[in-house]
Every structure is written in C-alpha cells, then in structure tokens.
Structure 1
Amino acid sequence: MYPSKHQHSLAYNNIPAVNVKEAEGVFHIEVAAPGLKKEDFKLSLHENRLTISTKKEQSNEEKTEQYTRQEFNYTSFQRTFNLPKSVDGEKIEATYADGILNISLPKKEEVKPAVKEIAVA
C-alpha cells in the first residue's frame, strides 16, 4: 500500500506524518493530525483508492480602541493511498484519539476452492 502521487496540502504545505503497518488479516494507517476533531476528517474510497482529507477554519479577532485585526487560519490536507485488492472496502473503520487518526483496513477472507469428491461409477 503506497501513497499516490496526488497528495498535497492546501495550507502551509503541512502533510501529516503517516505510518502504514500490516498485521495478520489487516492493514493499519496512522495519521498524526493533532488539534483536530473527528468531524474535521473526510474519508472516501473509490476504485481501491482511499482518500483522507480535512479542512479546518479558525478566525481570531483582536480589538483595541484604535484598530480591529482579524486573522483567518485555514488548515487542510489530502492524502490518497492506492490499496491492494485484498482490502475489504466494506469493513474499513476509522477512529480519532489523542491526535492520531487510526484507520483499520481488514483484508478479504481468502476464498478457498470447494473440494468435492466425485464417486466413480
């Protein structure tokens, strides 16, 4: 499983660090994205391509007697991963805790050919 060449960031070129691990029956993707909420993430799967994106807007306003200053801060990124065909797209799960987005990508169960005995007549 490798990130595709179409990964980019829209603000400050902040592409979060990602760990990809494989265990028996599952792949795990960990995305370091502190300071966000689970609602800030959007995950989509299209033709074995998993896209992880986020967009967060913050506004800071400072007022004094003589002036008003307002700053907008946009944080966003997008990462796309080409998944192996062995991933079961119907069972992908994601959680966000302690600044880490954890995505579990279970592998499809291996279909074994049925063995049928044929009696000789």
Structure 2
Amino acid sequence: MTLVKFNNGLKNTSANPFFSDVFDSLINDSFLSDKLIARVPAVNIAETESEFHIELAVPGLKKEDFKINIDKNVLSVAAEKKAENVEEGKKFSKREYSYNSFVRSFTLPESADQSKIEADYADGILKLTVAKREEAKFQSREIAVK
C-alpha cells in the first residue's frame, strides 16, 4: 500500500512565504488569465425542416455593436465594444473594464438561402435564422409497395 500526502489547500510556508503569495497572485490574477483565454462566444447550431438556427451567447452588448456580413458562403458575426468610462476624482487600484471584440465565422451549406437571413438580439442571445432553399427542404412522401 502506498501513502500519498496531500496539502489539503494549505500553503507551504517553510520556504519564503512572500514568494508563494506573489506567485499565487500572478497565476490567479484576472488580468493575466483574461489575456490567456480567447474570448469567443459560445454558439448553438440547430436545424429544422425549413431553416438553420444559430444562437450566440453575447451578454452585455447592444444591437449596434454587431456587424453581420456574408461573403460567398461564409457568414461572419463580429462585435466590438470599447469601455471608456473615465470618472474624475477616483483613483483605481485595479481596473478590469477593457476593449473587447470577437469574430465568429460559419460556412453555410449549399442548401442555405443566403437572401433570407434574419438576426434578432434579446436577453444576451443573438439569434440568426437562415432559411433553406425550397429544393433542399425535407420532403416526405409515402412509397407504395408494388
């Protein structure tokens, strides 16, 4: 049987405690972690008989912040937001408001009707509806047995 010692969340203070505190603050600092994590919104894509649904989770933006373009068969959704809230008389010890932007691109299938794309933004969700071409819609029929 092997015994394994766990620290159980306690810091090792036998070494220099200042070093471990600085190291922990660097690792856990939101400034550093924000720079390392790519910020792209989560997306859900669904298909029905007559259309495709694309939903992006983008809270905190306005309708005016979005740019939706289509080039050939690539649908691009971009957003740009710059926070410039400067208040006189305040001295900030940490400031996390920043400039945020993203671009998500989706390759549309041949069955998509590029002339019938609609966008709606409500409650932090951008919903894109892409209609299908008439000939690409699911057609069901009963086949008779001879």
Question: What TM-score do you get using the length of structure 1 for normalisation?
Answer: 0.74
Does the alignment pair 1:55 with 2:80? Answer: yes
Please identify which structure carries the higher strand content: 1
User: Which residue is equivalent to 2:121?
Assistant: 96
Once residues 107 and 95 of structure 1 are traced to their aligned partners in structure 2, the CA distance between those partners, rounded to angstroms, is 18
Higher relative contact order (CA 8 A, sep 6+): 1
Deviations 1:62-109 (A, max 9, x none): 3338x699x762111000001101100001000000000000000011
- Sequence identity of aligned pairs in percent? 47
* Aligned-pair Cα RMSD in Å: 2.5
Contact 1:61 1:68 in 2 (8 A): no
Matches of 2:57 and 2:92, distance apart in 1: 35
CA displacement at 1:56 relative to structure 2: 0.7
Alpha-carbon distance between aligned partners in 2 of 1:87 and 1:101, rounded to the nearest angstrom: 19
Aligned twin of 2:60: 35
Q: How many residues align?
A: 100
1:17 alignment partner AA:
A
Q: Which moved more, 1:56-65 or 1:90-99?
A: 56-65
Partner residue in 2 for 1:6 = none
Larger Rg: 2
Which consecutive aligned stretches of 4+ in structure 1 deviate over 3 angstroms post-superposition? none
Deviations 1:5-37 (A, max 9, x none): xxxxx9x62110000000111000000000001
Whether the 8 Å contact between 1:62 and 1:68 is mirrored in structure 2 is: no
* Unaligned ranges ≥5, structure 2: 1-34, 137-146
Unmatched 5+ stretches in structure 1: 1-9, 112-121
Q: Specify which of 30, 40, 43 is matched with residue 18 of structure 1.
A: 43
Distance 1:91 1:106 in 2: 6
